[in-house]
Amino acid sequence: MRQDDVGNNAEMIPEEAANYIKNNFNKGNIACMTGAGISAESGIPTFRGKGGLWEKYRPEIYATTMGLVSTFENKPEKIVDFLNDFYPFLLNAKPNPGHIALAVMQKEGILKAVVTQNIDSLHQQAGSRSVIELHGNAFRIRCTDCLKTIACEKDRIKEMVELLKMYRRQRLQLLRILSRYFPKCECGGRFRIDIVLFGETLPPDALKEAYRVLENCSLLLVIGTSLVIYPVASLPLYVKERGVKIVEINNEPSNFPCDLFIQGKAGEILPEILKIL
Ligand code: BV8
Ligand code: ZN
């Protein structure tokens, strides 16, 4: 739903949104930031809100190192069950029309880059080239010490989750399996899934790259994110301070003071906008 100047919800007309976008960008200088909402139509649960992951799994346990380690010590089956619940969504997900529309905008030189909080690789699978992953990637492993990353094939992850499920209560067996899939690094560190947990710093290079992209954009699309996680949630403010227009696409407002709020599903709205651009 487009909000008119006095903030009333006016009927969202894709043409208006597209004209707004057309009038606010010099070709190729649109940037976008995405969150879990753009992958919702690919079947991956979002984190917050109705049916969100954190409704079922407390983030302080399942999205912090301390929570994961202490739960693994006492009740390893809880971690195994979480992985067994969460990973199949990621393994089976395919890009939806929202991801594809952004990839086409990039190919046509309209969109500069995608800054994402998502870890599902769906932007890359849709054909987006410059994807800046601020919270890591579920199909990559990273060394705890030297931060070296290695891609981890989906089949390998699937195999690991299956094996863990077989030994869900046997901690020693589980440790043996984990050390096989997360080997030692030649630097002496150990590999782990390359996902940024709470209390962990974001990958410095990715964060630097995100600032560079946002520094030069003349319009920012903020798509499918509740903007509650920092430091990512502060990025649109940084863009707004530069006087750059911000268009939010979300099925409910994130309460960020954007210039244009388009209510609805990213997988429906983005192809509409692309058609008119
Ligand atoms: C850090 C695990 C330095 C990975 C996640 C101030 C500055 C810096 C840090 C902090 C700070 N204040 C507090 C902190 C700490 C913390 C934080 O932000 N806490 C919050 C609770 C306040 N930040 C951190 O710890 C970060 N690290 O800053 O390090 C440091 C170190 C020590 C101490 C301090 C600082 C690390 C943050 C990353 C944490 N990892 N998860 C994983 O499992 O993926 S958080 C989790 O939230 C995910 O990573 C996710 O990417 C992220 C954001 O969520 P969203 O993508 O927005 O998803 P959400 O479900 O919330 O919303 C979905 C949206 O989509 C909704 O708006 C919905 O309406 C919409 N939607 C749904 N369907 C559709 C749709 N829209 C369109 N179409 C649809 N179809
Ligand atoms: Zn290393």
Q: Could you tell me if the CB of 265 is within 6 A of ligand 1?
A: yes
Query: Could you tell me the pTM of the whole model?
Result: 0.93
Q: What is the whole-number distance in angstroms between the Cα of residue 230 and the centre of ligand 1?
A: 7
Q: What secondary structure, in 3-state letters, does 165-226 show?
A: HHCCCCHHHHHHHHHHHCCECCCCCEEEEEECCCCCCCCHHHHHHHHHHHHCCCEEEEECCC
Q: What is the whole-number distance in angstroms between the Cα of residue 63 and the centre of ligand 1?
A: 10
Residues with catalytic roles: 135
Q: Could you tell me if the CB of 198 is within 6 A of ligand 1?
A: yes
Q: In CATH, what number does 45-92+136-195 get?
A: 3.30.1600.10
Q: Could you tell me if the CB of 225 is within 6 A of ligand 1?
A: yes
Q: Could you tell me if the CB of 196 is within 6 A of ligand 1?
A: yes
Q: One digit per residue, pLDDT tens: the chain, 277 residues?
A: 344 444 444 345 567 777 877 887 666 689 999 999 999 999 999 999 888 999 999 999 999 999 999 999 999 999 999 999 999 999 999 999 999 999 999 999 889 999 999 999 999 999 999 999 999 999 999 999 999 999 999 999 999 999 999 999 999 999 999 999 999 999 999 999 999 999 999 999 999 999 999 999 989 999 999 999 999 999 999 999 999 999 999 999 898 999 999 999 999 999 988 888 7
Chain-centroid distance, C-alpha 238: 19
41 to each of 85, 116, 163, 165, 268, how far by Cα in Å?
A: 18, 16, 29, 27, 10
Spelled out in words, what is the top-level CATH class assigned to the domain 1-44+95-135+202-277? Answer: alpha beta
Q: Going by CA atoms, what residue is nearest to atom 47 of ligand 1?
A: 229
Name the residue of 102, 230, 273 whose CB sits within 8 Å of the most ligand 1 atoms, as the mutation to test its pocket: 230
SS3 260: strand
Q: What share of the chain is helix, strand, coil (3-state, %, to 5)?
A: 45, 20, 35
**So where are the chain's domains?**
1-44+95-135+202-277, 45-92+136-195
